[in-house]
């Protein structure tokens, strides 16, 4: 998997518990790949610690801008960033991936953005792109309190006749009533949401009730309703590049079998939510269990996330 060496060019506190990083190529002669709004990159933090973080602005300046919230009960990635990374440090990152890109709006009246907490990172990037395109945008930004909400001052400065931004801080106004807020928009608008699982569940339910036809979300994790990432029956996986065929026993995740046989594959969340382990599929009846692919993308049967997805029957052939 391709990786890039970057240098931490700046570290800044954006809110209580939130740091932003500006990453630039460690080699001035090797620019970083372009990353559009909605993209994320994996930070390779050592000792098999690999974590995905969204960019809060497109890479128009040749740098990657990330925001990382400290998760006290997390798996160590955010703590590493907050406690150990400093300006001038070198680290490896993945190429950017994007499963939350802005879709063509085909002349929709407006784009509606909803962010919860650190979910503002990809949403903020989308807002900047839409403003550059002179689109009409409405943003609802929810956070526990203003002191824990990143980019509030910068967002307030972006308000104009085309860009309306509502802030809802729970310590002042209580939890948002998404259904009521979303009801003011046309069903043909494009709707995007990133935030905690509860917010996204409420967003999807409200969009369904209101008949909204173009709704897109990005989750930090698969959520409590995610099915188990293992198959009830064993199956075979052919690795096209090497010609090897591996057996995935019943009750075993495909990713674990690949790793046990020395296959070099990136992964992070193990919940089908980050996209790090996306793998091209050449043949097979895929059992999709991620929360990233749309129904059309699943029907195309040409890609899968091997941390949670597997095979319904027969044999999978992977481009590995």
pLDDT band with cut points at 50, 70 and 90 for residue 165: very high
Closest CA to 257 of 232, 239, 280: 239
Contact 284, 304 (CB under 8 A): no
Let me know whether 15 and 75 are in one domain: yes
Task: Determine the pLDDT at residue 124.
Answer: 98
CATH assignment of the domain containing 145: 3.40.50.80
Write down which residue in 185, 219, 253 finishes a domain: 219
Write phi, then psi, for 319 (nearest 5 degrees). -85, 65
How many domains is the chain partitioned into structurally?
3
| Cβ neighbours of 198 (radius 10 Å) | 12
Q: What is the pLDDT of residue 1?
A: 64
- Whether the CB-CB separation of 30 and 254 falls below 8 Å is answered with no
pLDDT digits (tens, 9 = 90+) for 53-63: 999 999 999 99
Token output for 75: 């798996």
Residues 131 and 212 in one domain: yes
Surface-to-core class of residue 227, CB atoms within 10 Å of its CB (0-12 exposed, 13-18 middle, 19+ buried): exposed
Same domain, 68 and 140: no
**126 and 164 assigned to the same domain:** yes
Decide if pLDDT at 318 tops 70: yes
What's the pTM? Answer: 0.83
Contact 281, 310 (CB under 8 A): no
Report whether pLDDT(267) > 50: yes
Query: In sequence order, what are the residues at sequence separation of 6 or more whose Cβ sits closer than 8 angstroms to the Cβ of residue 195?
Result: 114, 115, 116, 117, 119, 142
CATH code of the domain containing 36: 2.40.30.10
Better pLDDT: 15 or 108: 15
Q: Supply the DSSP string of 122-175, one letter for each residue.
A: HHHHHHHHHHHTT--EEEEEEES-GGG-TTHHHHHHT-SSSEEEEEEEHHHH-S
What is the structure's pLDDT at 161?
A: 94
pLDDT at residue 225, rounded to an integer: 44
Give the residue among 305, 316, 320 at the shortest CA–CA distance from 264: 320
Give per-residue pLDDT as tens, 24-79: 999 989 999 999 999 999 999 977 788 999 999 999 999 999 999 999 877 789 99
Same domain, 263 and 214: no
**Residue 33 CB neighbour total at 10 angstroms:** 13
- Tell me the CATH number at 249: 3.10.20.30
Q: What confidence tens digit (pLDDT) does each residue in 97-117 have?
A: 999 999 988 777 889 999 999
What confidence score (pLDDT) does residue 145 get?
97
Residue 63: burial class (beta carbons within 10 Å; 0-12, 13-18, 19+): buried
The residue assigned the tokens 């027969």 is 314
Q: Is residue 225 part of a domain?
A: no
Burial class (CB in 10 A: 0-12, 13-18, 19+), 73: exposed
What is the arithmetic mean of pLDDT over 246-260?
A: 92
* Average pLDDT value for residue range 122-137: 96
Q: Are residues 245 and 284 in the same domain?
A: yes
> 114 — phi, psi (to 5°)?
-130, 125
pLDDT at 230 over 70: no
Domain of 278 in residue numbering reads as 235-318
The CA distances from residue 207 to 188, 193, 272, 286, in Å, are 11, 11, 23, 28
Looking at per-residue pLDDT, the higher value among 272 and 206 belongs to: 206
Residue in this structure with the two tokens 């209101």, named with its chain if needed = 210
Q: Is residue 298 part of a domain?
A: yes
pLDDT of 229 over the 60 cut: no
CA 174, CA 182: separation in Å to the nearest integer? Answer: 17
DSSP character string of 8-75? EEEEEEEETTEEEEEEEESSTTSPPPP--TT-EEEEE-STT-EEEEEBSS-STTSSEEEEEE--TTS-
Largest CA-CA distance found in the chain, in angstroms, rounded: 60
Does residue 269 belong to any structural domain of this protein? yes
Q: Which residue has the higher pLDDT, 94 or 48?
A: 94
Q: How far apart are CA 93 and CA 76, in angstroms?
A: 17
């Amino acid at each position: 998997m391709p990786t890039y060496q970057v240098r931490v060019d700046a570290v800044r506190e954006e809110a209580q518990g939130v740091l932003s990083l500006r990453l630039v190529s460690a080699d001035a002669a090797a620019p970083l790949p372009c990353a559009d709004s909605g993209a994320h990159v994996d930070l390779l933090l050592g000792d098999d610690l690999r974590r995905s973080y969204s960019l809060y602005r497109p890479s128009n300046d040749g740098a990657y801008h990330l925001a990382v919230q400290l998760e006290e009960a997390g798996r160590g990635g955010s703590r590493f960033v907050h406690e150990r990374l400093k300006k001038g440090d070198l680290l490896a990152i993945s190429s950017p991936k994007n499963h939350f890109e802005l879709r063509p709006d085909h002349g929709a009246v407006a784009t509606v953005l909803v962010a919860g907490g650190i979910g503002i990172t990809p949403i903020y990037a989308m807002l900047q792109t839409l403003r550059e395109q002179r689109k009409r945008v409405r943003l609802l930004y929810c956070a526990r309190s203003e002191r824990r909400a990143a980019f509030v001052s910068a967002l307030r400065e972006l308000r104009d006749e085309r860009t309306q931004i509502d802030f809802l801080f729970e310590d002042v106004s209580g939890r948002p009533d998404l259904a009521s807020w979303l009801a003011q928009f046309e069903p043909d608008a494009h709707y995007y949401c990133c935030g905690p699982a509860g917010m996204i569940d409420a967003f999807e339910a409200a969009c369904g009730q209101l008949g909204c036809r173009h709704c897109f979300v990005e989750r930090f994790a698969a959520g409590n309703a995610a099915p188990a990432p293992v198959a009830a029956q064993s199956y075979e996986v052919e690795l096209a590049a090497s010609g090897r065929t591996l057996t995935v026993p019943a009750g075993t995740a495909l990713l674990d079998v690949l790793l046990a046989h020395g296959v070099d594959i990136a992964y992070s969340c193990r919940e089908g939510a980050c996209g790090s382990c996306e793998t091209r599929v050449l043949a097979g009846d895929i059992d999709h269990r991620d929360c990233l692919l749309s129904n059309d993308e699943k029907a195309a049967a040409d890609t899968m996330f091997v941390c949670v997805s597997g095979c319904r029957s027969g044999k999978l052939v992977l481009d590995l």
